[in-house]
Copies of this chain bind each other. A is one copy, B any other.
Amino acid sequence: MITDIFPDVIWQPADIERTSLSIVEEFLRPLQLPPGEKAVVGRLIHTSGDPALAGQVCFHPRAVAAGVAALQRGCHIYTDVSMLVAGINSKQLSRRGGMVHCAVHDPAVAAEAKARGITRAAVAMERFGEKLNNQIVAIGNAPTALFALLGMIRRGLRPALIIGMPVGFVGAAEAKELLMQGEVPYITVRGTRGGSPLAAAAVNALLYLDR
Contacts and interface: CB of A to CB of B under 8 A. Distances in A.
B118 A148 contact: no
Interface stretch (A59-67, A179-187, A188-196): A188-196
State the oligomeric state as a number of copies.
Answer: 2
Contacts of A10: 144, 170-171
A86 B195 CA distance: 13
Nearest to A178: B6
A158 B50 CA distance: 31
A107 interface: no
A97 to B, nearest CB: 22
Chain A contact surface mostly: helix
Given A16-B119, A86-B82, A49 B191 contact: yes
A19 interface: yes
A10 B20 CA distance: 39
Nearest to A2: B151
B50 A192 contact: yes
Interface in A149-198: 150-152, 154-155, 167-172, 174-175, 191-197
Interface residues of A, number: 58
B151 A6 contact: yes
Contact of A195 (B81, B116, B152, B197): B197
Contacts of A2: 122, 126, 148, 151-152, 155
A14 to B, nearest CB: 9
A194 B168 CA distance: 16
A48 interface: yes
Contacts of A39: none
A58 to B, nearest CB: 16
Given A46-B168, A83-B200, 10 more contacts: A6-B150, A9-B143, A9-B144, A11-B117, A12-B117, A13-B118, A46-B169, A49-B192, A83-B86, A83-B197
13 contacts: A2-B122, A2-B152, A3-B116, A3-B122, A9-B144, A12-B117, A16-B119, A16-B168, A19-B169, A47-B168, A82-B86, A83-B83, A85-B86
